[in-house]
Amino acid sequence: MISRGVVGWLKSHDVVSRHNTRRLVAPQDATVRLLVFLGTVIHRRTPDPNRRSARAQTAILKATRELIGEIGYDKMSIEGIAAAAGVGKQTIYRWWPSKAALVLDMWSPEVQQQLTFPNTGDLAADLKTQIISVIDLSNDPAFGPSFRALVAEAQHDEALASQLVERIFGPRIAAAKERLRAGQTEGQLAADIDLDLAIDLFYGGFYHRYLLRVAPLTHEHAEAVVDAVLAGIGGVPLTPPKRRRLVRARPAT
C-alpha cells in the first residue's frame, strides 16, 4: 500500500522519463505513476570522478606529447598544455608538481616499451641491439631534446632525479646486469667482472655523446664501443667484431 506522504510527493513533483521529458503527475493516477517511477524512470547519475580524472589525464598527456613535437620542451608551458587539453592549469598541478614531472610521466611508458633488453644467447649482439635502440630513441627529435632537458633539471631537483632513477635508469641498469650475468653463466664474460663498472663502460660513451653533444650518436659507434669493452674486460664474443679501418696520416712532403 502506498502511503499518503508518497502520493503527496508525487502530486507536487514532476518526473523525468527515460526520454528526458517531464510530466506532472496527476492525483488520480498517483499509484500508476509511482510504479513507473520505481521501475523505469532513470535518475540522473552522479558524475564518476575517477572516469572524469582518467579522461583529463589522457587529454593532458596527449596535449603534452603534441606540443613537444610542435614547439619543443623549452617553449612549452603548463598554461599552454592546459589550453590544448581543455582543462584548467590547476587540474594539471593536482597530479604533477612541474612540467618536468609531467613530461617524465608522458615518456615513461614509451621508454619502458622500446628499451627492453634482448637475450638471443649472443651477449655482444644483444648489447649492440640494446644500445642501438637507446640511440634511435635519443635521436628522435621530440624525445631526445626533451629527455635531455629532464636530465638537466634533475641536477637541481632531487625529487625528479629520484623519479628518473626509479622509473628509467634503475630498471635499465637492472636489466643490463641480468643480461651480463647470463653472459657470465654462458661463459661469454668472466665471472669476476664488476658488473657496475662494466655497465659504466658500455653506456658511458653513449651518455658522453648524448648529454655533452660532442659527437653524433651512431650505430657504428655503439658497435665499436661494445667490441672494445668486451675485449678490454675479457669478453668472448660469439660473432667476430667488425674491423675498423685505420686512417693513417700521410707523411709531409
Give dist(CA 4, CA 124) in Å, integer. 85
* pLDDT score for 160: 96
Task: Please name the helix (run of DSSP H) or strand (run of DSSP E) that holds residue 43, with its range, or none.
Answer: none
Q: Quick one: 115 exposed, middle or buried, by C-beta within 10 A (0-12, 13-18, 19+)?
A: middle
- 8 Å CB contact between 134 and 199: no
In contact, 135 and 217? CB cutoff 8 Å: yes
pLDDT at 29: 58
Regions of the chain with pLDDT less than 50: 2, 6-7, 9-11, 15-19, 24-25, 34-35, 38, 40-44, 47, 243-253
Residue 228: what pLDDT? Answer: 95
Grid cell of 128 as nine digits: 649492440
Which of 150, 133, 142 shows the shortest CA–CA distance to 206? 133
pTM, entire model: 0.72
Residues 6+ apart with CB under 8 A from 168: 104, 108, 111
* pLDDT given for residue 41 in this prediction: 43
pLDDT tens string 39-65: 544 444 554 555 668 999 999 999 999
